[in-house]
Amino acid sequence: MNALTLISHPLCPFVQRAAIVLLEKGIQFDRIDVDLSAKPDWFLAVSPTGKVPVLKVRQDNAEDAILFESMVICEYLDETQGGAPMYPVDALARARNRAWIEFASQTQAEAWQFLHARDSATADAKRTAFRERLGKLESEVGVGPFFDGSAFGMVDAVYAPLFRYFESIDATVAQQIFDGLARISAWREALEARSSVRDAVVEDYADRFQTHLRQQGALIAAA
């Protein structure tokens, strides 16, 4: 039994953040997937929000510690585990990273709403809103390959699951989203190639996500 157990769902992007950090740190961990449509009692007992991810931290001579909320988990791992730090040392640069991580929350919501739109009007509106946020992000991405340059960091771990959605849908639709965003497109490619990003999900993630979109009646599933 490993000291850390990640309670997860195969499609959850917030779980992926934590999994990426764990993999970047080279930490051995156990992973338990939960059916969020029929949450078991044991899960509800350990997750105050009823959401994933949850991290169980085994402690000697004490009950397991429970952490929830993806960024709380990610920052705990960064502060307590070995490997390269995932935030800049400089306080201003670190604050800037955290600001763009916060920016990811609404960006994630816009992407999700676009992907799940059931009619053309909603899809067009949400595509526009998502593109506008990507346009703001484009000017902040460094020369690459990652957000801050050569080192993979926390901002990369946060945005990689969002970009993964667009690897799983029709390539023409994805191209329309990222056309003209050269820095973000290069960043996406670098993240896609990162082993921690690839290994943060199950092998059939794309098939599962496409099935999910069809079950939700998403317009894009028919593209």
Active-site annotation, residues = 12
Assess whether the previous peptide bond of 10 is cis (omega < 30° from 0): no
The answer to whether the beta carbons of residues 93 and 85 sit under 8 Å apart is no
User: What is the rounded CA–CA span in Å between residue 41 and residue 30?
Assistant: 20
> What does the DSSP assignment read for 109-152?
HHHHHHHT--SHHHHHHHHHHHHHHHHHHHTT--SSSBTTBSS-
For residues 96 and 103, the answer to whether their CB atoms sit within 8 Å is no
Handedness of CA 159, 160, 161, 167 (dihedral sign): positive
**Calpha distance 169→165 (Å, rounded):** 7
Residue 28 structure tokens = 């051995």
DSSP character at residue 64: P
Edge-to-edge strand list for the sheet holding 65-68: 30-33, 4-8, 54-57, 65-68
What's the Rg (C-alpha) of the chain? 18
Nearest-angstrom CA–CA distance, 30 and 122: 40
